[in-house]
Structure 1
Amino acid sequence: MPRVGRVKLDLIIKNANVLTLNDERPQARAVGVWNGRIVGLDDDISELPAARIVDAAGATVTPGFHDVHNHMAAFGQQLQEIDASGFTSADQLYDAVAAAAAAEPGREWITGSGYDQTRIGGHPVRTKLDAASGGRKVMFIHRTSHMLVASTAVFEAVGALSPSFPVPSGGLIERDGDGSPTGLVAEQAMTAFRDLRKPFSEADLIQALGLAGDRYLAEGLTSVAEAGIGASPLVGSSPVELAAYQAGHEAGRIRLRTQLMVAMENFHSVVTAAADDYHLGLDLGIRTGLGDDRLSVGPLKVFTDGALMSRTASMTENFCGHDHAGVMQFGPEELRDLTVQAHRGGWQLAVHAIGDHAVDVALDVIEAALSSRHRPDPRHRIEHASVVRPDQLERFVALGIIPSPQGRFVYEIGDGVAEVIGEQRLPWTYRHRSFLDAGLVVPGGSDRPVVQGAPLPAMQAMVERRTSSGRAFNLHEGVSALEALKSYTVDSAYASREEHSKGRIRERFHADLVLLDQDPTAVPTEQIGATLVLATLVGGVAEHDPQGIFAG
C-alpha cells in the first residue's frame, strides 16, 4: 500500500454511500484506489492526492457482484440466436423459425433456446419444426438445458429416426406409438445431438463470451463462475474451452474476473505415484486454484440428476401427476469413485443435485470423499440443492457443505415447480433462510441462461419469495435485503475461495465496485430490482460507465 506523501492514488470516490460489508467498518463516505486495490476509506485517504477524484453525489457504492453459478458461453451464444424465453405459445416459436428461414434462404441451421413447455402449451413438435423451417436443421435447447427439441434433419444427421437407435442410460428420446420421434430429447441422450454443432471454434467462443461479459458488467457483475467447461453433453462448448477464456482475457474481450468449473466428463485416468493415492484427474495435475485473479480453475462440476421443470430431477417419490420420480444420470458407485478421486487430488467439488434423492446421493458421495482423506477446508458444494428435507439439512451442517441455490428460480419457475412438487414437499424447496439459520454460507448464483441473471432482481426475489404470478412461495425462507446483498458479494467470494481478496470494500481487496442510484438495502423491497447500475469498476477501472462518471 502507498505511503502518505509518496504515491498519488489512482482514484478517490467521495460523497458516496459506501456499503463495505465489512463488519468492522460497515459504512463510509469515500474510497481510495491504487494499483487496482482498495487502500483506505474516509480519513485514511483524506490527505492523499489522487489522479482522479469522482464525486458520487450521494450514490451508493457496494462491492462488485459475483455470480457463483452461470453458463457464460451458453448465454453469449443465446444472445446470437432465437431467444424463446418470452414465448407464450408454440406458434410464436414456429413463426420465429419461419422468419429466420426466410431471412437467410441458404442457412443450414436454425437454433434457439430458453423455451418452457409449461408456458407454450407443450414441447415443440418435430414435424412442425420441419414445416416452419423448410426442412432445415432446427434445434432448440430447453430453458433448463436438460432437454432439447430437434427437426427431422437433425434426427437424420444423428441417425436417431429409427426406434432401434440406442439411447444411453440416463437419457430419453420420446417417441410416438409407431416409434417415430416426437422431437424431444433429454439428458444423456442429448450428447449426439449437441455434438453436431460442437466443438465451437475459439473465435466463436470469444465472441460469445465477450457479449455475455458486456451484459454482466452492465448488471454490476465483476466476477462470475462458469458452471462447466470442456466435453460434456449438458455443459461445455469445446474440449479446449479454457483456451478461449485465456485468449479472450488476453485480447481484452473478457473484462471481468472468471472462474471455470471443469465438467466431470473431462476426468480420465492419470498416472501418479502410489503415495499420491488417486488415479483420476486432468493431465499435468491441474486442479482447483490454478490461475490468477482474472482467470482461474474452480471446482469440479459433478452431475447427479436433471431438473425440476423437465421432470428429470431425481426424487424419492413421484412427481405430482406423473408416474415417475425423475432420473439419475450416473450411478452412485461411479459418482462415489469420481468424487473420492477428485477430493484426494485436491479439487473442490461442486455437485449438481436438485431432487431430494439426488441430494441424498450428493451428500453420500461427498461424505465418502471427506472420509477418504483429511483435507483442511475443502469447501465442497452442492449446486442448486433445490429440494432439501430437514434430515438432509442436518447433514449439510455436519459435513460443512456449501449449498449453492438460485434465488431467482422462485420468481421465474416457482409456479411450475410448485405444481409438480406438491404441498408436502414444497416447504423443502428452494431454501435460503433455513440454510442461513443453520449457520451455512449461501452464495448468490443465477444458472443463467436458465433464468434471467441480473443480480439485483435476484436479490429482490430472495427477499420477496413470490412467483411471477404473485403466489407466495415459502415466505418463511425469505431473507433481508442486506443478507441478499451478502449472498452476491461476501458469501459468493467465500464459496469461490476468494474471500481474502473480494466481496468486501476494505484495504488490500480488489477495487471491484458497483455504483448504484439507490441503496438496495434501504429502499422498499419491490424497488430493489429496479435499482440502476450507474457504473461497474473492475480493479479500479470503469468497465461499464454509460454516463461517463469516471471519464477524463
Structure 2
Amino acid sequence: MLDMLLRDVRVHTVDDARPTASAIGVLGGRVVGLDEEVVDLPARTVVEGQGAVVVPGFGDAHNHMAWFGQSLGEIDLSATTSLAGVEEAVARDAARLPADAWVVGSGYDDTVMGAHPDRSLLDRAGGGRPVWLKHRSGHMSAVSSEVLRRCGVLDGRAEEPEGGVVVRDGSGEPTGLLQERAQALVDDLVKPYPVEEVATALGRASEVYAAEGLTHVVEAGIGLGLLGRTPVEAAAYQVARDRGLLRTRVELMVAGDTLHRLRAHPADGIDVGLDLGLRTGFGDDRLRLGPMKIWLDGSLIGRTAALSEPFCDHGTAVFQDDPDVMRRLVVDAHRAGWRVAAHAIGDDAVELALDAFAEAARVHPRADVRHRVEHAGLVRPDQLARFGELGVVPVPQPRFLYAIGDTMAAAVGPRRVDWLYRHRSFLDAGLRVPGSSDRPVAPGAPLLGMQSMVERLSSGGVLLGADERVSAAQALRAYTLDEAWASHDEQTRGSLARGKLADLVLLDDDPLRVDADRIGAIGVLATLLAGAPVHDTGLFAGRDLPAPTTTPEGAQA
C-alpha cells in the first residue's frame, strides 16, 4: 500500500526519460512510480492536487544559513537607501538597549547609499555603544569608535591581518571600515557564538527555506574563516536536527582555516584535515560534510576581487593569503580526500583555482571529484575550456545580476560585462551549473534565481550578458538535478523518478509556461521532504501522512 498518492497535478519530473506526469506514488519517503504505475494502487492517503504544478525539491548550492538566520534578529538594512536612514535605524535600535549593549545590523550597501557609514555617524547614532554593521557582501563591516578601541586599532595595538584592510582617511585615521580579513578583529570580540544561539538561528532560516521550496542547501563555510560562527559549528547543526528544527537537507562546507596538520601514516596521504580523518561525505542524506571551502579573493561589490586588469572605478584586488599558500592547501585537501570549493570571483582568482585543481589532479589523480569554483564571477573566454577539461563545477549566483548587477557592471566596464556570472557559456562548454544564491548577500528564493537566469536584468533594467540567458527549463534543471549533481546526489534526488527521494514542491503556477518576469512571483503551496510536508498552505491539512522525520533515528530531542 502506498503512503500517499498525489494526483490531479502537473508534474515536471526533470527526468528526460519521462518529463511529465499527472500522479505520483510515494512509499517510505521515496517515489515508487508515476501515472499508470501507481494510480490503481491502494494508498493510505490520496491527495488531490487541484491542478498544482509539481517539481523536484529545489536546492541551493551556496548559501549561508547560520548567517541568514542570525541576521533575522539584527537591524535589517537591506532596504536602506541613505546614510541618514542608517543613522535613524541605528539610533532607534540603540534607544531600546542597555548602555553597554552591542548594536548589530546587516545588509547595508554602500553602492546604493553612495558611501559607507563612518565611525562618527555610528558614534552619534549609537550613543557611544559598540556598533557593528555588516555589509551585504559579507566582505566588509563598518564599526564605531568603541569597537575600534576594543579591537586595539585606535591605540595601535592591533596588527592588520594578512588579506585584510583597516581603511583610513587622508590623515591616516581609521574610518571604521574593515575589509576582508580585517573583520577578524571584530570577530575576536564577539565570537564564538553559543551553539544554542546558532541552532535557533538555523531553525529560523530553515522555516523560510521550506516556505520557498528548498529541500537541500549547501552551507558555504562553517567553523572559522570569514563567516564561521563558532569552531564547533557542526554541533549547532546537530542540535538543530535533533530538535526537529532543520526542514531541509544540509551539506556543510568546512572553512579551510579549520583544517590543520594531522599525524597520520605516511601511506595515507592525509597531511591536512580534521581530527579523526573526517572528510567530504561523512554523515547521511540529512546532514553531512561537503567540500572544504577556501577563500581566494574578495568581492566585486567591495572592489576587492582579484582581477587580471584593474577595476574601472576604484578599489584594490585582495588575495586572502599568499597564492602559493592557498594553492598548497587546495592540493593537500584534495590528497586527503576532500572535495574543494574555492571562492574565486575575479578572473585572476579563477585562474589560481584552476591551476591548483590541475596540480592536484596531476600529483594525486582521483576520478570524478567535482571540485568547485564558488561564484566564478568574472570568467574570461579563454578560461571556459579549462573548467571542462578539469571537470570543475562553476557555482555562480544568478540573482546577483538583479541585486548588484549595476555596480558589478560599473566595476568591470562594458568590455568585460558579458563575462559576469555566466551560464550559457558554461553549458556550451559541457558543464553543469547548479543553482545557488549566496543568501543573505542576495535574496535566496529559488524562483527568483530562476527568473534571473532567464532574464539577466539588473535592478536598473539593464540586460547583462544577453548571450548568457538560458531557458526556464534549463533554469529549473539548475535548481534541481544539476544542484544535486554538484553534490554527487543525482542518483538519489534532483528529479522525480522511481526510487528517488520524494522531495517535491507544489506551485500555484507553471515556471515553464508563465512569462519570464512572473517566475519569481509564483507561490509555493507546499514543500515535501521524503514525502512529508515541511511547509503547507492547506493542501495536506488533516491528511494521514508520516510526520517529517527531521530528527535522526534514535536521537533524544
Q: What TM-score bracket applies, with the shorter chain setting the length?
A: over 0.9
- Aligned partner of residue 226 in structure 1, secondary structure: strand
1:190 matched to 2:180? The reply is no
**1:403 counterpart = 2:399:** no
Structure 2 spans left out of the alignment, 5+ residues: 544-557
1:101 aligns with 2:94: yes
Residue 131 of structure 1 aligns with an amino acid whose one-letter code is R
Q: In the TM superposition, what is the alpha-carbon distance from 1:106 to its structure 2 partner?
A: 4.4
Match of 2:277 in 1: 285
Give the alignment's TM-score, normalised by structure 1.
0.97
Structure 2 counterpart of 1:156, one-letter code: R
Query: Structure 2: which amino acid aligns with 1:303?
Result: W
1:357 corresponds to 2:321: no
Which of 219, 224, 227 aligns to 1:226? It is 219
- State how far apart, in whole Å, the 1-side matches of 2:219 and 2:478 are: 17
1:295 to 276, 287, 297: 287
Q: Counterpart of 1:261?
A: 253
The partner residue of 1:338 within 329, 346, 355 is: 329
Query: Residue 79 of structure 2 is aligned with which of 83, 86, 102?
Result: 86
Q: Report the secondary structure of 1:15's partner residue.
A: strand
Tell me, yes or no, if structure 1 residue 381 matches structure 2 residue 353: no
Please give the alpha-carbon distance, in whole angstroms, between the structure 2 residues aligned to 1:149 and 1:328. Answer: 21
Deviations 1:236-267 (A, max 9, x none): 10000000101110110112110000000001
Match of 2:469 among 461, 478, 482: 478
Cα distance between partner residues in 2 of 1:277 and 1:459 = 41
- SS in structure 2 at match of 1:383: strand
- Cα deviation for residue 105 of structure 1 reads 3.7
Q: Quote the offset at 1:549 in angstroms.
A: 3.1
Q: 1:337 is matched by which residue type in structure 2?
A: R
Which among 349, 357, 373 is matched to residue 366 of structure 1?
357
Deviation at 1:163, TM superposition (A): 5.1
Alignment match, 1:149: 142
Offset of 1:156 from its aligned partner? Answer: 1.1
Contact kept? 1:542, 1:550, Cα under 8 Å: no
Q: Aligned to 1:30, what secondary structure does the other structure show?
A: strand
Q: Is the 8 A contact 1:336 1:369 kept in 2?
A: no
- Residue equivalent to 1:5: none
Percent of residue pairs bearing the same amino acid type? 50
Displaced runs of 4 or more, over 6 A:
none
1:443 equivalenced with 2:434 (yes/no)? yes
Aligned residue runs from structure 1 range 57-76, under 5 A = 57-76=50-69
Q: Could you report, residue by residue, the CA deviation over 1:79-112 in whole angstroms, capped at 9, with x for unpaired residues?
A: 0001111110011111011101112244611101
C-alpha deviation, 1:177, in angstroms: 2.9
Q: Which residue of 1 aligns with 2:538?
A: 547
User: How far apart are the structure 1 equivalents of 2:94 and 2:100?
Assistant: 7
**Secondary structure at 1:103 match in 2:** coil
Provide the residue aligned with 2:37 in structure 1. 44
Determine helix, strand or coil for the equivalent of 2:128: coil
Q: Work out the CA distance in 1 between the residues paired with 2:531 and 2:141.
A: 42
For residue 328 of structure 1, what is the aligned residue in structure 2? 319
Give 1:546 deviation, angstroms: 2.3
Name the SS of the counterpart of 2:354 in structure 1.
Answer: helix
- Contact persistence 1:317–1:325 (CA under 8 A): no
Q: Is the 8 A contact 2:491 2:500 kept in 1?
A: yes
The answer to whether residue 503 in structure 2 is matched with residue 509 in structure 1 is: no
Structure 1 CA distance for aligned equivalents of residues 41 and 177 of structure 2? 64
The aligned counterpart of 2:172 is 179
Deviation string, structure 1 residues 146-191 (Cα, Å, up to 9, x no partner): 0001011111111111356321221100112333211100111111
Contact 2:2 2:44 in 1 (8 A): yes
Contact 2:29 2:501 in 1 (8 A): yes
Contact 2:99/2:129, CA 8 A, preserved across alignment: no
2 CA distance for matches of 1:529 and 1:176? 42
The answer on whether the counterparts of 1:9 and 1:51 sit within 8 Å (CA) in structure 2 is yes
Secondary structure of 1:129's match? helix
Contact 1:383/1:405, CA 8 A, preserved across alignment: yes
For structure 1, list consecutive stretches of 5 or more residues without a partner in the other structure: 1-7
Equivalent residue number for residue 310 of structure 2: 318
Tell which deviates more after alignment, 275-284 or 123-132: 275-284
What is the 5 A alignment of 1:413-432? 413-432=404-423
In structure 1, what is the equivalent of residue 227 of structure 2? 235
CA contact (8 A) 2:304 2:316 kept: yes
Amino acid at match of 1:340: V
Map 1:492-503 → 2, pairs under 5 A: 492-503=483-494
CA distance in 1, matches of 2:300, 2:206: 28
Distance 2:245 2:145 in 1: 37
Distance in 2, matches of 1:527 and 1:439, equals: 29
TM-score (norm 2): 0.96
The alpha carbon displacement at 1:274 in A equals 1.4
1:48 offset after TM fit, Å? 1.3
Quote the Cα distance in structure 2 between the aligned partners of 1:550 and 1:357. 53
Q: How far apart, CA to CA, are the structure 1 residues paired with 2:209 and 2:542?
A: 20
Local SS of the residue matching 1:498: coil
Alignment partner, residue 554 of structure 2:
none
Deviations 1:276-307 (A, max 9, x none): 22311110000000000100100000110000
Residue pairs, 1:107-186, within 5 angstroms: 108-162=101-155, 165-186=158-179
Hey, what does 1:246 align to over in structure 2? 238
What letter matches 1:446 in structure 2? Answer: S
Cα separation, 2, equivalents of 1:273 and 1:66: 38
Contact 2:100 2:130 in 1 (8 A): no
- 2:549 matched to which residue of 1? none
Pairing partner for 2:453 from 422, 445, 462: 462
1:214 correspondence with 2:210: no
Q: Deviations over 1:179-232 (max 9, x none)?
A: 321110011111121221111111101110000000000000011000000011
Q: CA deviation at 1:417?
A: 0.5
Does the 8 Å CA contact 1:228/1:260 hold for their aligned counterparts?
yes
Looking at structure 1, the residues matched to 193 and 27 of structure 2 have their Cα atoms a distance apart, in angstroms, of: 39
Q: How far is 1:312 from its partner?
A: 0.4
2:151–2:158: 8 Å Cα contact kept in structure 1? no
Could you tell me which residue of structure 2 aligns to residue 21 of structure 1? 14
> Is the contact between residue 85 and residue 116 of structure 1 (CA under 8 Å) also seen in structure 2?
yes
**Post-superposition shift, 1:275?**
1.1
